[in-house]
A and B are shown apart, each in its own frame.
Chain A
C-alpha cells in the first residue's frame, strides 16, 4: 500500500497467445518476447493456451524482468472439465435470449458475443456455462444445424462432433479473471476469444494483433488434414471463422502487420474504424550490414531460416535447390531452425534429400545463432505456403542479403514495394521449385542486381521497419487504452 501511494504503479498488459510463447519458438513467440523486452516500464502477464497438459513444459525463452506471471491453460483439459450427466432444462429465457443462444449454437457470427457472455454467466439460468451443452436448448438448436446440412449423416457422429467442438469455448465463458489494464491477444481463434471474455470480465480494453489470418490458416490446415472427416471439414472451418469473428466484436484496437492482411481481415468482417497497421520491426543493433560480395568460386551458400514444418514447404525448397545445383554444382543449402516440431515431416525431408542425392550439400543445423550464419549466405530463400510478415526477411534485408520468397503474406510488400527500383528480392509462385530455383539463379548470376537488392533492403528496413517505430506504436496503444 505504501508503495502504491508513493509511486505510480506500472501498467499491466496481459498477452494471450495460442500455441506459442513461451513454450514454442517461432515468429509470433519471438515477436512477443521482443515486445516485452522493449517495454521495460510496462509489466506483462502471459496467458498461454496449449493443447495438452505436460508436466515439464519447457520455456524456450528467458523470462524478462517485467514478465510478472505466466499462466498456462490447456485446451484439452476443457474437454474433461465440468462433467455432469444430468439433462438440463434452461428456464426463464426471453426471446432475445433464445435468439442469442441460437446464434451461438448455430455458429452465426452475427450473434452478439457480449450477450452470450452475459447469458452464460447468469447463474439463474446456467449454474455452469457448460450446462448449455446438456440442455434442451442445445438439443433443439443443434438439431436445426443437423437438419440443414447433415440430414443424411449418421446422427451419433454428428452430435458428438458438434458438442465436443463447443466444449472449449463454452468453458471459456467462465474462465478465471486475470487482472490487467489491457488485454492483448496475438491472434484470433481461441486466444482472441479468451481475450474478448477477459475484457468483459475485467471491463478493460482489448487489443488484438493478427500476424496471420487465423481462420484462413485453419481452413488450409483442415482442408488438407486427413484427421478431419471430410463431411465435417466445413463445419470445423465455419467454427474457426465463427470464434474469430466473434472476437472482432470485442476489440478496441485491431492491428495487422501489413496491408494485404488488413484487406482480408476487413473482408471477413473486422471493424474498419478500429483497424490499423503496425508492421513487425527488428532490432538493427545486432544486424550489421555487409555489402554484397560476389564470390570468387561457385561455392554459393543458399540459406533458409524456418521451422521444419509442412507450412514452410521445405520439400519445395529442397527440390529447387536440386535444380540450382545443376547450374552451380558446388552450391550448398543450409536450413536453419528447430527440427523437432514435426519430426515426421523432418524425416520426410531427410528422405527427400537422400533421394535427390543431396546429402553432401544440404545441412540441417537445428537451433543456432542465426546472425552468425547470415554472413555465410549468398541468398535467403523462403518457400512457405503461408506467412504473416516474416521477421527472417526483415533480418535478411537488414544484413544485406537478397531474398527469394514465395508470394505469401507480406513478402511482396516487403521485397517489392510500389517503386520497382526499391526492390530487394524476387517473388515466386507457391510450391514451384523451378520458379524458386530460377529466382536463386538469377541473383547468383547477376552480381549487380544482388548488390542492388542488398542496398535497397537495408535502406527500406531503416526507413520503415526499425524497432523503435514498432515499440513506440505499441507503447502509445497501451497507454492510450489504459
Chain B
C-alpha cells in the first residue's frame, strides 16, 4: 500500500512536471516568446528611426527661423533627455511585460492581456509623472514649456509600453501608418506654427515646434492604441497580476535595466565632460557625442532585421525539434544531436550576419567623409562616429546573444552580460574621456567589444551544458511560486475582487 502510493505519486509528479516542461517549450509558446523578444527589440528601433527623421526635418525647417544653434538646443535637449530617460524607465518593464504576454498568449488567456497593459500603463504613468514633476519643478523654464516637455516624457514612456504590447499583434502596417501620419502632422504643424506662431512670451519658436511634435506624436499614440484595442478590447479586472513576474523573473527586469543603462551611460558621462553643453540650467548634454552615437546606432539596423529573419526561419525549426525531443519524444542521443545542430546553426547564422554587418559598417565608415559632408556635420562628430560605429556593431550582437540566452531560459547569464556591459562602459568611458577629444567613443567601443567576447564565451558554454541544465533545473516537484511581488499581486487581486463585489449587508 505504502509503495504503491509512493510510486504512483512519483508518476503524478512526473505528469505534472512533464506538463510544465511542455508548457514552457511548446511550439506555440516558443515561437511566441522568441518572436516577442525579438520584435520588442526591433520595434524599439522603429520609433527611434521615426523620431530621428521627424526631429531632423523639424530642425531643418526650424533652421530657417532659428538661426542660432543655442536656440535649437533647447528643443534638442528636451528630445534627447526624453528619449534616453523614458527608455531607461521603461526597458525593465518591457522585458517583464513581454514575458508575461507571451506566457498568457501561450495559455490562450487573452483576457489577461489588456488588464496587464492598463496596469502597467498606470505604473508607468505615475512614475513618469513623478519624475517629470521632480525634474522640471525648479527649472528656469516657462510653465507651458514644462507642461509640453513633461507631456512628451509621459507620452513617450507610454508609447514604449504600447509598442511592446503591440508586438503580439504584429500589425506592421498600422504601426508604420501611425508613425507616418504622426510625423506628417508634426511637420505640417511645425511649418504652420513657424509662420503663424502662437505668441508664447518666452522661447516662442521652441515652444511652437515642441507643441507641433507632441501633437503629432499624440496622433501616433492614438492610432497605435486603436490598433491594440481593436484586438484586445476585453479582459478581466485584475490589472496587477503581471507584477508577480518581478518575483518570478527578477533577472529579466534587471537585464532590461542594465542593458539600457549601459547603452546610455557613456552619453551621460559625456554630458558631464568638457564637451557637455548646458541648456538653460535644465539639460546638460553633449550634442557632438549624442549625434555621433545616434548615427552609429542607425548603421546597425540591417543586422537587427537579419536577426529577426534568422530567428523566424532557420533557428525556429531546430529549436522546435530540440525541445520536442527533450519533451519526451527522443532518447538522449537524439536530444544531443538536435542540440548540436541548433548550436551550429546559431553559430553559422550569427557569424554570417556579423560578416554582413561588418561589411556595411566598414563601408559606411570609409565613406563617412562624404556622408558627413552631405549631412553638413562637423569633423568632430565624424571622428566619434567612426569609432562608435564599431562599438554599435559589437553592441548589437551583445543584444542578440542576450536575446538568445533568454529563449533558452539562461536569464542569469543574460543579466551578467548586461551588468558587465554597463559597468565596463561606465569605467572605460570615464577613463578614455580623460585622454582628450580624439579618444571619445573609445570607451563605449572597447566595453562593447569586451562584453561581446564575454557573451560569446557565455553562449558557447551555454550550449555545451544546455541539455544538462534543461533537465537539472526543472523543479523536483510542483511548487507554488512565492516572493514579495507574488504576494502583492495576490493582495491586489483580492482588493479588486472585494471592490467589485462589496460584501452585502446581512452577509
A-to-B contact residues, CB < 8 Å: 18-19, 24, 49-52, 75-76, 79-80, 82-83, 85-88, 130, 133-136, 138-139, 143, 146-147, 151-157, 159-161, 163-165, 167-168, 218, 221-222, 225, 227-228, 236, 240, 309, 341-342
Contact = CB atoms under 8 A, between A and B. Distances in A.
Interface of B is mostly: helix
Interface stretch (B13-21, B98-106, B373-381): B13-21
Given A85-B473, A87-B472, A154 B4 contact: no
A143 B5 contact: no
A245 to B, nearest CB: 17
Contact of B4 (A82, A133, A138, A221): A221
A72 to B, nearest CB: 13
A139 B471 contact: yes
A139 B474 CA distance: 13
B496 to A, nearest CB: 30
A341 B2 contact: no
B63 interface: no
Nearest to B328: A156
B5 A76 contact: yes
A52 B10 contact: no
Contacts of B8: 227
Nearest to B325: A155
B331 A130 contact: no
Interface of A is mostly: helix
B1 A341 contact: yes
23 contacts: A24-B1, A51-B6, A76-B5, A79-B9, A79-B10, A83-B477, A85-B474, A87-B468, A134-B473, A135-B472, A136-B472, A139-B472, A143-B332, A154-B328, A155-B326, A156-B327, A156-B471, A159-B471, A167-B477, A168-B6, A218-B3, A221-B3, A227-B4
A380 B6 CA distance: 34
Contact of B477 (A80, A227, A228): A80
Contact of A160 (B1, B17, B329, B479): B17
A51 B473 contact: no
Interface string B1-43: 1111111111101100110010000000000000000000000
Which of A88, A164, A236 counts the most B-chain CB atoms under 10 A from its CB? A164
B47 interface: no
A60 to B, nearest CB: 14
A87 B335 contact: no
Contacts of A135: 472
B412 to A, nearest CB: 9
A417 B210 CA distance: 109
B473 A156 contact: no
B22 to A, nearest CB: 9
A82 B475 CA distance: 10
Contacts of B327: 156
Contacts of A160: 13-14, 17-18
A235 B11 CA distance: 14
Nearest to A153: B331
B476 interface: yes
A49 B9 CA distance: 15
B250 to A, nearest CB: 13
B471 to A, nearest CB: 5
B233 interface: no
B84 to A, nearest CB: 35
A378 B73 CA distance: 113
B5 A342 contact: no
B24 to A, nearest CB: 12
Contacts of B122: none
A164 B13 contact: yes
B475 A227 contact: no
B6 A133 contact: no
A75 B5 CA distance: 10
B67 interface: no
B469 interface: yes
Given A87-B469, A87-B472, A161-B10, A75 B332 contact: no
Interface string B287-305: 0000000000000000000
Interface residues of B, number: 36
A70 to B, nearest CB: 17
Contact of B473 (A50, A87, A154, A168): A87
A52 B330 CA distance: 33
Given A80-B479, A151-B332, A161-B10, 8 more contacts: A51-B5, A75-B6, A76-B6, A83-B475, A139-B468, A151-B333, A156-B327, A163-B476
A271 to B, nearest CB: 25
Given A79-B9, A83-B476, A161 B331 contact: no
Contacts of A88: 472
A154 B477 contact: no
Contacts of B476: 79, 82-83, 130, 133-134, 163-164, 167
Contacts of A163: 476
Contact of B9 (A19, A51, A133): A51
B200 to A, nearest CB: 58
Given A50-B2, A341-B1, A228 B331 contact: no
B2 A49 contact: yes
B474 to A, nearest CB: 8
A52 B328 contact: no
Contacts of A136: 468, 472
Contact of A79 (B1, B13, B472): B13
B18 to A, nearest CB: 7
A275 B474 CA distance: 44
Interface in B327-345: 327-333, 335
Interface string B425-468: 00000000000000000000000000000000000000000001
A154 B329 contact: yes
Contacts of B328: 154-157
B343 to A, nearest CB: 18
Contacts of A85: 473-475
Nearest to A217: B3
A51 B472 contact: no
A46 B11 CA distance: 29
A130 B479 CA distance: 16
Contacts of A82: 476
B375 to A, nearest CB: 51
A80 to B, nearest CB: 5
Interface in B313-335: 325-333, 335
Contact of B11 (A138, A154, A227, A342): A227
Contact of A19 (B2, B325, B330, B469): B2
The interface centre, meaning the residue of B329, B331, B474, B479 with most chain A CB atoms within 10 A of its CB, is: B331
Nearest to B335: A155
Nearest to A221: B3
A19 B2 CA distance: 6
A135 B468 CA distance: 9
Nearest to A170: B476
A156 B469 CA distance: 13
A134 B472 contact: yes
A79 B332 contact: no
A75 B6 CA distance: 7
A156 B335 CA distance: 10
Point out which of B1, B330, B469 has the most chain A C-beta atoms below 10 A from its C-beta. B1
B105 to A, nearest CB: 24
A421 B479 CA distance: 64
